[in-house]
Amino acid sequence: MNSVLQLAGRITIGLLLVSALGCGGSRPSDTTNDLPRVVASIFPIADLASVLGGDDVQVDVLLAPGASPATFELTPGQLRLLRAADVYLSIGAGLDTWVGASGREEAEVVVLTEGLELIAAGDHEHDGNPHVWLDPVLVRDHLLPRITLALQAVAPAARERIERRRASLADSLSILEAEITRALEPLHNRAFLASHPAWTYFAHRFDLTELGTVHESPGSEPSPRALASLIDKARAAGVTVVFAEPQFGEAAAYALADELGGSVFVLDPLGGRHIPGRDSYFALMRYNTAQLVAGLGSPE
């Protein structure tokens, strides 16, 4: 139990360091043109909207690369951006409640998880697990049609072009699902530990097992009892790999992996426009697939 208490202390220190670094917002792009303005709360949705909209809309994203939605606060510049927007694309389910803080009630707000039966989240998240964009099938069948309708509403002259892009993007998402399935299929070890429950939908789609998470929800600290239970569960299943996330830092994951005699790999649920290898939705999903293959395929 002493080792578990020491582990809890190291994780707490890591969380304090992450909080001290703070989270800056992304800089809005030039809004001087006359194109319809679309604002998305997170990068993966902004990238999909950019592909759909092409040259017919202008798309901005609020959350900066590496920032956590749980601690993000809108800057004055981002408030102005939101107030000038024609449509907001929000994930909902408690992930990006700050999107509705702009004070402009007449803009269209599209909550992409509305109508979806969400997977239950931890005790601290009562709206369901919001990380639906990490399942390409849910993106293709639910998110993509909603984003399409939102863009067509603000750019009616481009309706047919947007529909053609939607059809092409849907085909690409089907290909992506098949590609990820093929990459993960040979894995014998299919259980993993993660920083927080971002990968639940991905795991369900691709027959992986999210054995447990260090944090039930962003900002929550694991108790010594919870850590001891997680360590016991991991040892019983022979799991030694822990997947960290840039938005949380890696201190907690390394401390847990050290306790298990294992290793750490980094998954990224959010990516960003200027992050090499994670600067589009498709690149992000392929990056995470490669990390899972490297981690779960590594020798025990």
- Per-residue pLDDT 10s for the chain (300 aa) are 545 445 444 444 343 333 333 333 333 444 446 899 999 999 999 999 999 999 999 999 998 887 778 778 888 888 888 888 999 999 988 888 776 554 455 568 899 999 898 988 765 455 789 999 999 999 999 999 999 999 999 999 999 999 999 999 999 999 999 999 999 999 988 999 988 889 999 999 999 999 888 866 555 666 677 778 888 888 988 888 889 888 776 677 788 888 888 889 999 999 998 899 999 999 999 999 999 999 998 654
- How far apart are the C-alpha atoms of 210 and 200, rounded to whole Å? 6
Strands 241-244 and 191-194: parallel
Domains 37-181 and 186-296 belong to one CATH topology: yes
Cα distance between the two ends of the chain: 25
pTM of the predicted structure, to 2 decimals: 0.83
The residue with tokens 């998470």 is 213
Q: Architecture of domain 186-296 in CATH?
A: 3-Layer(aba) Sandwich (3.40)
Give me the residue spans of the domains in the chain. Answer: 37-181, 186-296
Determine phi and psi for 298, rounding to 5 degrees. -70, 150
Domain 37-181 has CATH 3.40.50.1980: yes
- How far apart are the C-alpha atoms of 219 and 249, rounded to whole Å? 12
Nearest to 210 by CA among 239, 231, 235, 185: 239
Whole-number Cα distances in Å, 248 to 32, 281, 285, 294: 35, 20, 19, 21
- How far apart are the C-alpha atoms of 130 and 99, rounded to whole Å? 15
What residue ranges in 191-259 does DSSP mark as E strands? 191-194, 209-213, 241-244
Strands 58-61 and 87-90: unpaired
